[in-house]
Amino acid sequence: MTPEHVDVLIVGAGLSGIGAACHLRRRHPGRTYALVEARDAIGGTWDLFRYPGVRSDSDMFTLGYSFAPWTAPKSLADGDTIRDYLRRTADEHDVTRHIRFRHRVERAEWDSHQARWTVHVRREDTTETVVLTCSFLYACTGYYRYEAGHTPHFTGQERFTGRIVHPQHWPADLDLTGRRVVVIGSGATAVTLVPALARRAARVTMLQRSPTYLLALSSRDRLADAVRRLLPAGLAHQTVRWKNILLATANYQLSRRAPRLVRGLLRRGAARRLPAGFDVERHFTPRYDPWDQRLCVVPDGDLFTVLSDGRAEVVTDTVDTFTARGIRLASGRDLPAEVVVTATGLDLLALGGMTLRVDGVEVDLPETVAYKGMMLSGVPNFAMTIGYTNASWTLKADLVAGYVCRLLRHLDRTGTQIVTPLAPPPGRRTPLIGLTSGYVRRGVGRLPRQGTRAPWRLHQNYLRDLLPMRYGRLTDADVRFERAGAPRSNPVDA
């Protein structure tokens, strides 16, 4: 049978994929497209993560879409509200009916003569293989493994008589009422879990090997509350969105240019919310500079509240061994526990695990270089979404989606069918993600790399990216447009 063909195949129906499809519908209403999603629901991360208290770590005026106003009361929103927003946006833009659920892409093969991808998809519900073809392949898969989070093996954990869980797959039957809980970790997940679990558990301990920078912010945006009463929803959304973009950019730039100043401000901010004598230096002053790792937001200071009133404690130490009834630390202290939550991070996974072949040659992802942070050297008619690490993911996802739409229009206008980033100039290569977080260090070698200058360098700056991505030239010496079937050299060697 002839495979079903679509103009654009989007892989993933999470925040990036739904946004990409909406942009495509709005700017290219005549193009055919489909989304394939390995899971059985819209939402990606926001459908997968169901642990107590799960919420955004970025404000929803920037984590939400530029074209879909965020109207819920809280700017730092809970997972259920975010999931409803994604579903509603997909429905309003007629995207939902284009999603093929439980379809996992295993491999995609490019044929330059036909100018099309052949995509092999495994149906998770029937295990059969489905073959689709497309003219443009758009990966909106994120960059971590959905099947399991990172869970290191701890000495003696088999002796523990309680329960060990990872937040990425929270058990629906887990009742923590009146129980002693230890949360291992200090990142955004741990910071979210501790105050949520403290509402029911008898005692919650956040066990961290090293501290994380924390910033307490109100979960509601006062400007949003004011302008919503005065302006139409769309204009109010854009006003608050731009205010938050400018503040986030200023925060990051100040952190990188004056790290000692920002370190001191964050330390004093934590100290003001904690009891006198609390050891802020030990528990809330990291050894690294702000934004070497992602800054964690604490909505309404909830973590500081439960630490102050005694419902939770923070311990900075390392695990020596699990015991039958808890954890023994390197310092010799015993932490009693009935439940241990390993908020120990994620495992990176490039392109959702799918492999790529170009004219019969398998693409070695770590040997490719990202063009404008969204295409790969030597890989035709392909784009991927990697969001910002120092700002809302969706800010970059929106720019990438808009750029893909511009590329498609340029192909139509010029009568070409293929666009390929060429090999970048020789020189030093750097990781695509510049953070020093553990999950990045463990897995960044599996991802494409980046160069040292534009357009091979990924800027972590929305203001710097906005004009070039939205209005800049599509043609330059680093990218080639051509017609299908034309004689061509290997773009990797060009």
How does pLDDT run across 395-442, given as a tens digit for each residue?
999 999 999 999 999 999 999 999 999 988 888 888 887 776 776 677
Question: ∠ CA(80), CA(82), CA(84), 5° rounding?
Answer: 70
Express as a percent the part of the chain with pLDDT over 90.
84
> Is the pLDDT score of 338 beyond 90?
yes
- The number of beta carbons lying within 10 Å of the beta carbon of residue 379 is 24
Q: 148: buried, middle or exposed (CB in 10 Å: 19+, 13-18, 0-12)?
A: exposed
Greatest alpha-carbon span in the chain: 74
pLDDT computed for residue 439 by the predictor:
64
Q: Which pLDDT tens digit goes with each residue over 5-21? A: 999 999 999 999 999 99
Average of pLDDT values for 262-269? 96
Least confident of 140-144, 332-336, 379-383, 488-492: 488-492
Q: With beta carbons less than 8 A apart as the criterion, state whether 323 and 316 touch.
A: no
Q: Is the pLDDT at 247 greater than 90, yes or no?
A: yes
Q: Taking all residues of the chain, what is their mean pLDDT, rounded to a whole number?
A: 93
**What's the one-letter identity of residue 372?**
K
Q: Indicate the DSSP class of residue 377.
A: T
pLDDT band per the 50, 70, 90 thresholds, residue 494 = very low
